[in-house]
Amino acid sequence: MTTVTEDGELTGLRDALGLLKDREQVAVRLLESSAKHSFDPDRELDWDAPVEDGKWFWPPELVSLYDTPMWRRMSEEQRFDLARHEAASLASLGIWFEIILMQLLVRHIYDKSVTSAHVRYALTEIADECRHSMMFARMIQKGGAPTYPVTRLNHNLARVLKTVSTTPGSFACTLLGEEILDWMQRLTFPDERVQTIVRGVTRIHVVEEARHVRYAREELRRQMVTAPRWERELTRLSCGEAARVFSIAFVNPQVYTDVGLDRREAVAQVKASGHRREVMQSGAKRLTDFLDDIGVLRGPGRRLWKSSGLLA
């Protein structure tokens, strides 16, 4: 924001102060909400209850192969099995994201006032994510499926990203990781066909995650106004690239092999599935509308979003 006149400079300063005040007010509200609605999954959920017969680990409509020719040929037992493995795959992805996010948040607050509400809320969110990652790990163990790490390449790309990414880039990626999984979890926790433990895990996550999304959105909105031009351009590009990687890494294809399916064929059918495209685009809609609104979905970045299949 360049201003030449004295008046102009004053206006610029007032805007900046206004944004910081707004940042503190948002954080205060989020802290109040955290004090009222936070959960300890170890105590809150019954981890000793047996796995329920005839219940899904993930709603079938949200399973990648749903409604494909392959799905129609699968036995009911194999469908249940695939849902259980996909739940483990998504929980593994969730833990990966959360561990990245914790580091991004630590970096975000490193230079900020330790007594501000903004920093106190970031620390609260880190504590939330610590509990979530432990909760997801317990859920994977409970289901009896393995953990599904991302590819070595993505694992190492993220190692670089979480170390060097800019503030707006970090918050844009945070939203990508949080909002689509959140949309799926909002459909999962009220679903009576789903295992009680999975419903409990997703309910806790949805309640606490709503605050994380708010925090990241407000910060990204501010950053897209105040960050220098190169940083805004870089955010558009890196966020588009993250969307592309995310859409590929979303479900680990090893799940198909592990339930006795032809991995290549399964991946091809998921790619061709109109139902799946609709699920992923519906899941991303709230996020892409928001990103469009604050000017993240422009230029080459927008093309990357389109190629990810998440943007219609």
Q: Which of 132, 142, 162, 203 binds Fe ion (CB under 5 A)?
A: 132
The radius of gyration of the chain from alpha carbons, rounded to an integer in Å, stands at: 21
**The tokens 């066909």 sit on which residue?**
193
**Rounded to the nearest whole angstrom, what is the least distance from the CB of residue 258 to Fe ion in the complex?**
25
The 176-215 contact track toward Fe ion, x by CB under 5 A, reads ---------------------------------x--x---
Cα dihedral 21/285/34/166 (nearest 10): -50
Q: Does 85 bind Fe ion (CB under 5 A)?
A: no
- Closest approach, Cβ 212 to Fe ion, in A, equals 4
If 0-12 CB within 10 Å is exposed, 13-18 middle and 19+ buried, where does residue 99 land?
Answer: middle
Judged by CB, which is closer to Fe ion: 130, or 272?
A: 130
d(C-alpha 154, C-alpha 211), whole Å: 27
Q: Taking contact as CB under 5 A, which single stretch among the options 1-9, 129-137, 220-228, 267-275 is the one that binds Fe ion? A: 129-137
β-partners of residue 56 are: 194
- Our CB check for Fe ion shows the closer of 80 and 250 to be 250
Q: Could you tell me the smallest distance in angstroms from the CB atom of residue 121 to Fe ion?
A: 12
DSSP H stretches of helix in the chain? 6-36, 41-44, 69-73, 76-109, 117-143, 152-164, 167-188, 196-226, 229-249, 254-258, 263-272, 274-293, 299-308
Tell me the number of residues near Fe ion by CB under 5 A. Answer: 4
Residue 166 burial by Cβ neighbours in a 10 Å radius (0-12, 13-18, 19+): middle
**CA distance linking residue 98 with residue 221, whole number of Å:** 21
Smallest gap from residue 182 Cβ to Fe ion (A): 8
Q: Which is nearer to Fe ion, 65 or 105 (CB)?
A: 105
Pick between residue 199 and residue 212 the one whose CB is nearest to Fe ion. 212
Q: How far is the CB of 79 from Fe ion (least distance, A)?
A: 28
Extended beta strands in 20-61, E state: none
Q: How near is the Cβ of 135 to Fe ion at its closest, in Å?
A: 9
Cβ closest to Fe ion, residue 100 vs residue 266: 100
Site string for Fe ion, 40-69 (x = CB under 5 A): ------------------------------
Tell me, what amino acid is at 2? T
Task: Quote the CA–CA distance of 30 and 252 in Å, as a whole number.
Answer: 34
Q: In the complex, which residues of this chain contact Fe ion (CB under 5 A)?
A: 129, 132, 209, 212
